[in-house]
Amino acid sequence: MKNTDRNAQDGTTPHRIVVVPRWGAREQDDWYPWLQAELAGSSTFAPIVIGDMPDPDEPTIDRWRARVAELAGSDAGTLADTVLVGHSIGCQAALHFLAGLPDSIRVRGTLCVAGWWSVDEPWDSIRPWNENLPDLRRVRASCGQLRVLLSDNDPFTADAAANGRLWQERLGAAVEVVPAAAHFNRSQEPRVLAELLRWYAA
């Protein structure tokens, strides 16, 4: 890991990060390979899990929720040291997974990158995601600390302030609006890495 190792030579199990990609993305897209490379070789972190999702160009709630469950697992101890990272539609898939967990099980944290509750110009296959919210009470019980990164020029959700308020009101999220980050599709996203390292800072 490049200049970010937290010197976790204490015999503990390396921390887990599970990334749920955006609509249409694969493991090699956007900042996912860069994030893997940044954290590779660290004693602090296990290899990052990045899911190749079923039908990434036509995601459905049931199939993506099931895939997140496969990636994250169901062991309470493992989930307690797992940070879920959703990117765009991946945020919604992560929330639907969290809503299905028993109240006694929670993840360490959830980071939603370019998260949204609805897009400004919805198309047919995205409408079910807009119209079928997860059980927010159950999400609150299982999401751990919830952080959200938004952009002030996201092409899919122009009103970052209103979007951020929904995250705060519905789930008590800590929201940061990053200037000119668009939909967080660049090959490197330092704010994502910085947010993840905050969970494990010495």
CA-CA distances (angstroms) from residue 197 to 4, 22, 87, 193, 200? 8, 21, 17, 6, 5
pLDDT digits (tens, 9 = 90+) for 48-87: 999 889 999 999 999 999 999 999 999 999 999 999 999 9
Q: What percent of the chain has pLDDT over 90?
A: 83
pLDDT for residue 58: 95
pLDDT for residue 202: 43
- pLDDT over threshold 80, residue 5: no
Specify if 179 maps to a domain: yes
Of 50, 29, 52, the C-alpha closest to 39 is 50
Report the predicted TM-score, pTM, of the whole model to 2 decimal places: 0.92
CATH code assigned at 84: 3.40.50.1820
**Rounded Cα–Cα distance for residues 20 and 112 (Å):** 10
DSSP annotation string for 65-123: HHHHHHHH-S-HHHHTTEEEEEETHHHHHHHHHHHTS-TT---SEEEEES--SS-SS--
Specify if 117 maps to a domain: yes
Specify if 3 maps to a domain: no
The 10 Å Cβ neighbour count of residue 41 is 11
CA-CA distances (angstroms) from residue 60 to 40, 85, 123, 126, 155? 31, 18, 13, 8, 22
The 10 Å Cβ neighbour count of residue 178 is 20
pLDDT for residue 103: 85
Number of domains the chain contains: 1
Q: Which domain holds residue 113?
A: 16-145+158-199
Average pLDDT of the chain, as a whole number:
91
The 10 Å Cβ neighbour count of residue 165 is 12
Specify if 80 maps to a domain: yes
**Rounded Cα–Cα distance for residues 134 and 139 (Å):** 7
Specify if 5 maps to a domain: no
